[in-house]
Structure 1
Amino acid sequence: MRNGDGTGRGARAFWAWARALGGAAVLAVLAWRLGAGPFLDGLRAIEPWALAAALGLGALTTVCCAWRWRLVADGLGVRLPFGAAVAHCYRSVFLNATLPGGVVGDVDRAVRHGRDVGDVGRGVRAVVWERTAGQVVQAVVAVVVLVALPSPVRPYLPVAFALLLVGGLGVVLLGRALPRSGPSRRARVLRAAVTDVRAGLLARGAWPGVLVASVVVVAGHLATFLVAARTAGATAPLSELVPLTLLALLAMSVPANVAGFGPREGVAAWAFAAAGLTAGQGVATAMVYGALVIVSSLPGAAVLLLRRVRVPTAVRVAGAAAG
């Protein structure tokens, strides 16, 4: 048993390092091809108005994420006060923005909430379904925007749609083929997933709020990217910038980065260059966006600090009472 646990931990550590190295490799290639200028020029251009906008948009998206998470958690039968959800989400955003992989904060809030309610499994599932809902809505928004506005990927959209259709049919067929009854592990997992989706996402009291919150979150991230583009000196019209920044935003879902940096900068460089702008401007925009996200997540650092202060204080008080 010990060997199995050690092997599992070793494999997780290997993939964590591999993902971080993948993001670092993207940044290294960009620096080799473009030099350090685009990375530094964007950061030097950041002004107070951009920082204020990032803090405001970050507050909006964080509150909406907390609301979405609470709706899903309530549907799954786990208590989640709104204030606690906001604090957890701020801490999650800060950890995601400062640690490799981009998902450490989500794992942290899932496990912490599960421990708080005495059901780690259900707490983790609530975060998984909440994040899944956000990713699905973001994908739908991306499809609508990329179809409606000109972008470098427009010629490839028919092929992408065909692949998505085939993949969707494959998932449906696989779901029908898997046993839904009986004692097998796959049957239990499938039943639990169906129950979770119905109760946490598709319930009458949940799905409207989940949808609205997800759309606002996507809009907030997109607005932050547009602020970054203007800060980095991009003067193209919004109809041209929105698809480009959305492509860079989608690249952030790739779990191979260094504190969020890596694929985002690579895709931004390609998208901006393919649209007739410059790769350097794309990198500068992505770098500014990363900096703005870190600034907008700073309340999460305060949450972490307060928790570290309170826990030792509570321990000291308990020790004194016991003495």
Structure 2
Amino acid sequence: MVAMTTALRPHAVGEMLATPRFRGYARAAIGVVILVAIVLHAGGEPFARGLASVSIAAVGAALVLAAVSTAAAAWRWRMLAGGLGLTLSWPQAVSGYYRSQFLNTVLPGGVVGDVHRAVAHGRSVNQVGQASRAVVAERSAGQVVQLVLAAVVLVSLGMSAYAPAVGIVALVVAVMCAVGFVAAAASTRVRVAVRRELAALRTAFASGSTVVKVIAASLIVVAGHVATFVVACLAVGVDAPTERLVALALIAVLAASIPLNIGGWGPREGAAAWAFTAGGLGAATGIAASTAFGVLAMIAVTPGAVVVAASALRRRRDSQAVQSRMVAS
């Protein structure tokens, strides 16, 4: 019995480590470690400066920019879901995207909202697998466009000092792809799964017009995030040319997409500190601007909280209605 228990323990630990919940908390823990390291190194003053700089005008601009970005992201999601044969109305796409952004902001890991969005849509159309593929395709397309845009803008502006940041991200992506190819080559099961998912992606991006529209939507999304970061920079009082602010914003926003954060915080502040230092503006200024951006981004997705509350209220009413019918019968 002891031997059996001992043998089962590594298996149980392996299963625990493989659960989505554990991975989410692990990513959040890494974000906390990064954030604590930044606070210990730079102190709390830059964060306090960023918080104090948030104004009503900045909040208003962030809400408008978030509305535009969310609408564009919902458009991208609808196109790719439609390519996979799924129905997704505009109200459902916009409200679902606001909800996912809010959940990504307040829950550990930064991806819980996207998982919920995929499952909720999948259940509504009885195709959770296809709905999950649509969300993965939508987010992946956005990340690729963001990475390429950042590289193009930095090169076109001649800002070679920032090139290593994009290069590091590209290297990480390349390593992840290489690991995926090695895993596929070593396992027949993985090869079959990869072929299946690639076939689904080809279906989602079947037409050239869809690709163009997805790129256009992604550019609007990135532009909205970058503009919000520029608003944060102006609120903090950063004195720099517009093109430099755009370059700095692209790096910070790109770092914010790394799923090793807590509500978006962590890598973003570290990248901003490094980028602002490379640009001669100082790490403290970068942290302050990133802090202001983080606060504005959190406020900008609060409509998602309304969607979450409305969904909870609707579920409660449905549950009460079911209970009432059971009592009546």
Q: What's the TM-score, normalizing by structure 2?
A: 0.87
**Using the alignment, how far apart are the partners of 2:161 and 2:257 within structure 1?**
18
1:198 aligned to 2:202?
Answer: yes
**Using the alignment, how far apart are the partners of 2:82 and 2:120 within structure 1?**
16
**Using the alignment, how far apart are the partners of 1:166 and 1:309 within structure 2?**
44
Deviates more, 1:195-204 or 1:307-316: 195-204
Residue of 126, 130, 143 corresponding to 1:135: 143
SS at match of 1:206: helix
Provide the residue aligned with 2:312 in structure 1: 308
1:75 aligned to 2:83?
Answer: yes
SS at match of 1:235: coil
CA contact (8 A) 2:165 2:251 kept: no
RMSD value over aligned CA atoms?
2.9
Provide the residue aligned with 1:145 in structure 2: 153
Deviates more, 1:140-149 or 1:158-167: 158-167
**Using the alignment, how far apart are the partners of 2:215 and 2:108 within structure 1?**
29
CA contact (8 A) 2:154 2:160 kept: no
CA contact (8 A) 2:269 2:287 kept: yes
Deviation at 1:162, TM superposition (A): 9.6
1:245 aligned to 2:249?
Answer: yes
1:104 aligned to 2:108?
Answer: no
Deviation at 1:133, TM superposition (A): 0.5
CA contact (8 A) 1:226 1:242 kept: yes
CA contact (8 A) 1:65 1:217 kept: yes
Q: What's the TM-score, normalizing by structure 1?
A: 0.89
Q: Percent identity?
A: 41
Deviation at 1:117, TM superposition (A): 1.2
SS at match of 2:15: helix
**Using the alignment, how far apart are the partners of 2:173 and 2:100 within structure 1?**
33
SS at match of 2:87: coil
Change (3 A) 1:164 1:107: closer
Pairing of 1:151-166 with structure 2 (within 5 A): 151=159, 153-154=161-162, 156=164
Structure 2 portions without partners, runs of 5+ = 1-7
Structure 1 portions without partners, runs of 5+ = none
SS at match of 2:265: coil
Provide the residue aligned with 1:15 in structure 2: 23
CA contact (8 A) 2:229 2:293 kept: yes
Amino acid at match of 2:69: T
Pairing of 1:218-233 with structure 2 (within 5 A): 218-233=222-237
Residue of 45, 51, 59 corresponding to 1:37: 45
Deviates more, 1:151-160 or 1:137-146: 151-160
Residue of 289, 296, 301 corresponding to 1:292: 296
Deviates more, 1:295-304 or 1:310-319: 310-319
1:25 aligned to 2:29?
Answer: no
